[in-house]
Structure 1
C-alpha cells in the first residue's frame, strides 16, 4: 500500500520494533494509500487551521502594538510588516526571486529546495515568490501532520496517540514557525516520510524523501541515522543484490542531497563549506562548541547578568532531554536515535537561539510527549499551555524581540 503495510494490532508494546511489511495485493494499493492519507489529512485539518488562526491573529495584534506602542522602533516596524515572511522567510523569498548571487553571500546558509520550489510556484499567475514560500511551507506542514498520524498508527497501533501527536505538533510553542515561510515544514515532511519508508522497508521511497531532506536544510543530513538503524535491523531480510542496493541508496540519500548543494556552492563561490562557515559567524549560530560547554557558558552568563535571553532556552533543553529518555524507553530505537542526533547537533553551538524550533524537528519527541497525555484533562491542559506559549513566542518574533 505504497508506504503503508498492515497496521500493528491495537495495544502492542510501544517500543516494539516489529515491522509488518506485507504488501497489499492488487493494483489498487495506491488507491488504498491515498484514502488512508486522505483520512489523515481530514483528521489533522482542524489542528492545522487552529494553529494558523492563532498565529495570524497574533500578527494582527502585533501590528496594533507596533503602531500604537512602538511606532519609532524601526526593527519592530520591519519585522511586523514582513508578516509571515519574517526573519528567515525574507531570505527564502529573496533567494526565490533573485537567486543566491542577488541575495548576498549570507544567503548561502539557506538550502535551496524551498526557494526553488517557490520560484516554480511563482510562475502561476497571481502567485508571487513570497506567497509561494508561505504556501509551500504551510502545505508541507499539513502533509507532515497527516504523515505523522499514519506513521504513529502504523508503528504503534494507537489511533488516539496519533491524534494527540498531531495536535501537539500543531500547537507546540515553537510550532508557529510551521506557519511562517520557513523550511521547517518541508523538512518535517521529509523526515516523517523517510522514517515511515525505512520502517516499512520501502527503501526507494526513503531514497526520495532523504534526498529531498538533504536539500531542504542542513539538519536533513541527519536522516542518515534512522535509515542506517532500520537498514541494519532488517539486514537478514535482504536476499538479493537489488535489495542491498536499495538499502545502501536510502542510507546515502541524505548525504547525497546535502552534497549536491555543497558541490554547487563550491562551483559558484569556491568553498563547499561556505554555508556552514557563514552559519558559524557571530550573529548566527556562532562557533561550534561541545554541548556541555555551551550549556555551562549560557548558565554562567545568566548568573552574571549577561545574555539573559539565553535563560529562556535552558528549560527547553532540560525538557527535550527528558522527552528523549521517554522516546528511547517507549518508541523504536530509530526514533530515539534520530531525536538524539538532532538535539546533539542543535546544542553544539555557542548560541542557543532557535533551539526550540530545531527540537520540534525531532518529531519523535512530540510522540514521546503525547504518550504522557493519555488522560483527557492532561491533554487539554498541555495543549492550552502549549498554544499560549506559541502565541507568546510568535508575538516576540513579530515584534523583533526574539529570533524564531
Structure 2
C-alpha cells in the first residue's frame, strides 16, 4: 500500500480532532492522472543544468562547432540508421532499432531534419525519464523530498551525457521505469498489465540488455499470482510480463536472421573486438590493462574514474535491496555485473547511469542537507569528468 493511501485515514482523524471538516486526501493516482506535470516541473531544473554542463564541455573542446561533440560516438550511428536504415552488411545491427525508428517516424511526420527529430525525441524522453523516477520514488516510499533528489540525479549522474546526446538511454530509461510502475501496479488496475507488456516488449527492442526486464516481470508476476491463489488469470499475467521483453528481443533477432542470415548477429557484433570485447570480462584484468596501457596518456584517469564509479555504485546495491522491493534488485544486480565487464570499461558511465534503482538508493541515503550537497557536487563533478574524457576520445562512450 502506498504512502498516499496510508496518509488518508490519518489526515481525516486529525481533521475531526481539530473540529474541522476532514480534509479530502487523494488516494494513489491512476495511470492517467495529473501527477505528470508536477514531476516534470521537479525534473526540469536538473534537465536544464545537465544540458548546460554537457554543451559547455562540447563548446570548450571545439569552439568552432559548439555542439559538434554531441554528434560523436553512437549518436552518428543512430542518426545514420534513422536516415538510411541498416547497412547492407549488418555492421551497425548491434545498435538496437527503436530509438532510430522513432526518430525516423518523427522526421517524416513533422518534416523536420532527422537530426532535430532525434535530439528532440531524446531530450524529451530524458525529461520524462526523470519525471517517472520521481513518481516511482513517491509510489514506493512516499518520500517526495527523496523523489526530487532522485529526479535530479537521473540527469546529473556520471553517465548523464548520454541523456544529452542522441543515444538510446533516454528511451530505454523511460521504458524501464514505466515497466516497473506498470508491473508493480498490475494487481490494482487491469489496464496496467497491458501497459507492462507493451513497455516490456519495446524494451527488448531498445537495448541489448532490455531483455533483463523479464526478471522483475517474473518476480512481480509470481508475487501477484501467489497473492491471488495461483488462479489461471494471475499465472497468465505473470507469464505475459515475463515474456514481453523476450518477445521484443526475439522480434528484432528474427529481423536480423531474415535480413543478414544470422539471428545472433546483433550480439556477435556487440561482443566483437570493435564492441565490448566479450559478454562479460574480468573487471580486475580490464583495470590493469587500462592502467598499464595508459592510452594516449590518459589511461590512468580513465582507470581512476572507473574505480570511483564501480565502487560507488556497488556501495549502493545493498541500499537497493534493503529499501526497495526485491524486483528492483533482481534487475539492477545483473545489469551492474554486465556493465562493469566491457573491454576498456567501454561505456561504463552511461551503463551505470542507466541503473535508476541505484540513483533512487543514493537519493534515499542522502537525507541530510550536507549529504545531499556532497552527493550532488560529486555526481556533477563526475559528469563533467566523464563528459570531458568522452568528448576528447580518451574513453569510449
- Which TM-score band applies after superposition, normalised by the shorter structure? 0.7 to 0.9
**For structure 1, which segment, 264-273 or 137-146, has the greater mean C-alpha deviation from structure 2 after superposition?**
137-146
What TM-score, normalized to structure 1?
0.84
Q: 1:338 deviation in Å? A: 1.0
Are 1:280 and 2:271 matched, yes or no? yes
Q: Between the two structures, name the one with larger relative contact order (CA 8 Å, sep ≥ 6).
A: 1
Alignment match of 1:381 (pick from 370, 374, 378): 374
In the alignment, which residue of structure 2 is the partner of 1:74?
none
1:119-158 alignment to 2 at 5 Å? 119-158=104-143
Cα separation, 2, equivalents of 1:266 and 1:349: 25
In the alignment, which residue of structure 1 is the partner of 2:248?
257
Q: 1:260 deviation in Å? A: 0.4
Q: 1:281 deviation in Å? A: 1.4
In the alignment, which residue of structure 2 is the partner of 1:99?
85
In the alignment, which residue of structure 2 is the partner of 1:368?
361
Cα separation, 1, equivalents of 2:69 and 2:294: 31
Cα separation, 1, equivalents of 2:290 and 2:78: 33
1:208-227 alignment to 2 at 5 Å? 208-227=198-217
> Residue 302 and residue 131 in structure 1: after superposition, are their counterparts in 2 closer, same or farther (change >3 A)?
closer
Deviations 1:156-207 (A, max 9, x none): 1110110010111111121111111000010000000101111112321110
Local SS of the residue matching 2:85: helix
Cα separation, 2, equivalents of 1:305 and 1:38: 49
Alignment match of 1:300 (pick from 276, 281, 288): 288
**For structure 1, which segment, 141-150 or 383-392, has the greater mean C-alpha deviation from structure 2 after superposition?**
383-392
Cα separation, 2, equivalents of 1:193 and 1:117: 18
In the alignment, which residue of structure 2 is the partner of 1:352?
345
Q: Is the 8 A contact 2:193 2:237 kept in 1?
A: yes
Local SS of the residue matching 2:311: helix
Q: 1:392 deviation in Å? A: 2.5
Q: Is the 8 A contact 1:289 1:349 kept in 2?
A: yes
**What is the RMSD of the two structures over their aligned residues, measured on CA atoms?**
2.4
Local SS of the residue matching 2:194: helix
Local SS of the residue matching 1:218: coil
Alignment match of 1:248 (pick from 227, 232, 239): 239
Cα separation, 1, equivalents of 2:252 and 2:388: 34
> Residue 159 and residue 277 in structure 1: after superposition, are their counterparts in 2 closer, same or farther (change >3 A)?
same
Deviations 1:323-378 (A, max 9, x none): 11221122211111211020122234444211221111111000111112111122
Local SS of the residue matching 1:403: coil
In the alignment, which residue of structure 2 is the partner of 1:185?
170
Cα separation, 2, equivalents of 1:321 and 1:195: 21
1:4-23 alignment to 2 at 5 Å? 7=4, 9=6
Are 1:204 and 2:194 matched, yes or no? yes
Local SS of the residue matching 2:393: coil
In the alignment, which residue of structure 1 is the partner of 2:71?
85
1:23-34 alignment to 2 at 5 Å? 33-34=32-33
Q: 1:268 deviation in Å? A: 0.0
Are 1:228 and 2:227 matched, yes or no? no
Gaps of 5+ in 1: 11-22, 68-76
Alignment match of 1:114 (pick from 86, 99, 108): 99
What TM-score, normalized to structure 2?
0.86
Cα separation, 2, equivalents of 1:306 and 1:42: 43
Q: 1:29 deviation in Å? A: 5.2
Deviations 1:270-293 (A, max 9, x none): 000101111111131002345xxx
Local SS of the residue matching 2:367: coil
**For structure 1, which segment, 356-365 or 376-385, has the greater mean C-alpha deviation from structure 2 after superposition?**
376-385
Q: Is the 8 A contact 2:126 2:163 kept in 1?
A: yes
Give the number of equivalent residue pairs. 368
Local SS of the residue matching 1:61: helix
Cα separation, 2, equivalents of 1:314 and 1:347: 10
Deviations 1:108-137 (A, max 9, x none): 000111101111111145511122111111
**For structure 1, which segment, 214-223 or 236-245, has the greater mean C-alpha deviation from structure 2 after superposition?**
236-245
Q: 1:81 deviation in Å? A: 6.6
In the alignment, which residue of structure 2 is the partner of 1:72?
none
Q: Is the 8 A contact 2:220 2:238 kept in 1?
A: no
Q: Is the 8 A contact 2:62 2:68 kept in 1?
A: no
